[in-house]
Amino acid sequence: MKLKDPKKERKIIDVTIDIVHTKGLSGVKMSEVAKKVKISPSNLYIYFKNKEDLLLSTFLETTRKIIKHFNEEIPNHPIYKKRIESVFQFIIQAKINKIKEFSFINQFVQSPYLNKKYFEQIDLILENVFGIFRDGQTEMILKDKIEVDLIFALVDGTTSKLVELHKKGKINLDKKTMDNSFKLIWDAIRQ
């Protein structure tokens, strides 16, 4: 059995992200991925057993990479509100700087490829993000009768819309807009 080359596996994932960004999930063809990576289609199957495996692996790896960066960048600020503001700012910047990756993630989570058997894996990846919100509930700073998933949905949805409006030139994500946007989120989630 041939050994997997981690650099080639990373290249396969990067090519998959590029294809999804330009053509959507349905545009991913194993033969095209292999061609762009400059390997034979049969060698691609050494890394991924089929398209579903490729897309799921790409989703999990991309999400893990973003969350790893999140864990490295978010300070454990003693003032909880500042910590949440750091989370908000990180998510905005990540969605601006990692357009292809978030395009892939958004398409994947809305697809039939994401099903209940993978939710546990996603929850493990997002544990630190959810942990920050749970800390706020434990410290009685955030609303404690609202599920953490709902708080995350509010923050994720708001940041997605802000980045979308920014990309369309409808708003400028300057300090004033960022401060006002965070204030709206903070007012929505705090006790």
For the stretch 4-62, pLDDT in tens is 889 999 999 999 999 999 999 999 999 999 999 999 999 999 999 999 999 999 999 99
Residues sharing a CB contact under 8 Å with residue 115, sequence separation 6 or more, in sequence order: none
Q: What does the pLDDT look like over 46-105, one tens digit per residue? A: 999 999 999 999 999 999 899 989 988 888 888 999 999 999 999 999 999 999 999 999
Cβ atoms of 125 and 63 within 8 Å: the answer is yes
- Assign 3-class secondary structure to 134-181: HHHHHCCCECCCCCHHHHHHHHHHHHHHHHHHHHCCCCCCCHHHHHHH
State pTM to two decimals.
0.86
Give the chain's domains with CATH numbers.
6-189 (1.10.357.10)
Model pLDDT for residues 117-160, shown as the tens digit of each residue: 778 778 888 888 899 999 999 999 999 999 999 999 999 999 99
pLDDT at 115 over 90: no
Q: Which two tokens stand for residue 30?
A: 């194993």
For 145-160, b where at least 16 C-beta lie within 10 A, e where not — what string? Answer: eeebeebbeebeebbe
Closest CA relative to residue 155, chosen from 100, 94, 114, 99: 94
